Amino acid sequence: MYNNPALPDEDMAYTILADLKRVTREYATAATESACPVVRQMFTQLLDDTLKVQGELFNAMQQNNMYSLPSQALKPEIDKQLKQGQQTQQKTGQFVQQTQSAQAGMAANAQNGAQAPAYQ
């Protein structure tokens, strides 16, 4: 038997980190596509738990010089991305409100149509 692991610690940590990143994407997708609130909550909790583990592994790798940080982003670029995200969020909210209003109007029209007397 070998006393040495098949992969060096750094390679093993990178492999696990990559898997955790993949799993978080899968859980996020599952949560956003879940119609059932209970299932959505379950995937949201799994996502939160996995993000915590991923963060702990990342910090351990960084402390052991296994992971170097990328260069810092420029504040104007961050502000630009934040503004675009806020605009997208606002447009999405408006779309949802318009859709809900339209559906409510169609339901009211259908109900009124069902109650209207038949003309012969």
Per-residue pLDDT band at 113 (split at 50, 70, 90):
low
pLDDT value of position 70: 72
* Top-confidence range, 26-35, 60-69, 92-101: 26-35
| Locus of tokens 């738990």 | 49
d(CA 91, CA 60): 40
Average confidence score pLDDT of the chain: 86
pTM of structure = 0.56
- Tokens for 92, please give them: 């999405």
Q: For the chain, state the CA radius of gyration.
A: 25
pLDDT higher at 93 or 48: 48
- Tokens for 43, please give them: 């995937």
Q: Is the pLDDT of residue 2 over 60?
A: no
User: Angle at which helices 9-33 and 37-63 pack, to 10 degrees?
Assistant: 160
